[in-house]
Amino acid sequence: MSDAVETTVETVETLHGCPVVSSRGQRVVLVARENYVATVKALLADGYDMCVDLTGVDYLGMPTRSVGAGIQPERFEVVVNLLSLTLRDRLRLRVQVPESDAQLPSLFDVHPGTEAHERETYDMFGITFTGHPDMTRILMPEDWDGHPLRKDYDQGSIPVQFKGSHS
């Protein structure tokens, strides 16, 4: 008889060195900010040739949330959805972006269709995409103060008066 104790080691799936978790039946790749463009280029070479969507998320009220696989949560997150038509597969990428340095490299050179998505994410969340060909507002006027989808953005109010109403 052996006195050896059986130990179980949990294996974590990785893809191009990034941890992969599952969310609602979809594989989610947790990409480090410094590996963002290199990972997207590697996934393009793997056949993920369409960037379906790119957006931001503000987790202001959830600083201690669990991102997964030992990833440090940050206030902002950029979420990218990639699609492979040949593999018939979809991947979601999540990249943590700190409030103190809210920027990521642009994916424009890899997926030119992200041009408007990155501008919208900048406009609404204030996340800058370095190397973007036209990092200007796309939804709000150029002189607008703030980023409306940030959780700390003051909603304010705009008085509305209808034609013919007694006020």
Check which CATH number belongs to the domain holding 83 and give it. Answer: 3.30.460.80
User: Residue 29: which of 2, 8, 48 has the closest Cα?
Assistant: 48
Is 166 contained in some domain? no
Is 156 contained in some domain? no
Is 90 contained in some domain? yes
Is 1 contained in some domain? no
Q: How confident is the model at residue 11 (pLDDT cuts 50, 70, 90)?
A: low
- Residue 82's CB: how many other CB atoms inside 10 A? 23
Is 83 contained in some domain? yes
Tell me the pLDDT of the chain averaged across its residues. Answer: 91
Higher pLDDT: 123 or 66? It is 123
Is 2 contained in some domain? no
Q: How confident is the model at residue 6 (pLDDT cuts 50, 70, 90)?
A: low
Tokens of 87: 């593999």
**How many domains, the chain?**
1
Is 112 contained in some domain? no
Minimum mean pLDDT among 20-24, 50-54, 89-93, 122-126: which range?
20-24
The answer to whether 105 touches 86, Cβ cutoff 8 Å, is no
Q: Give DSSP secondary structure letters for 9-74.
A: -----EETTEEEEEETTEEEEEE-GGGHHHHHHHHHHTT--EEEEEEEEE-TT-TT---STTPPP-
Q: How confident is the model at residue 70 (pLDDT cuts 50, 70, 90)?
A: confident
User: Global pTM?
Assistant: 0.86
DSSP secondary structure letter of residue 158: -
Domain that holds residue 33: 14-102
Is 114 contained in some domain? no
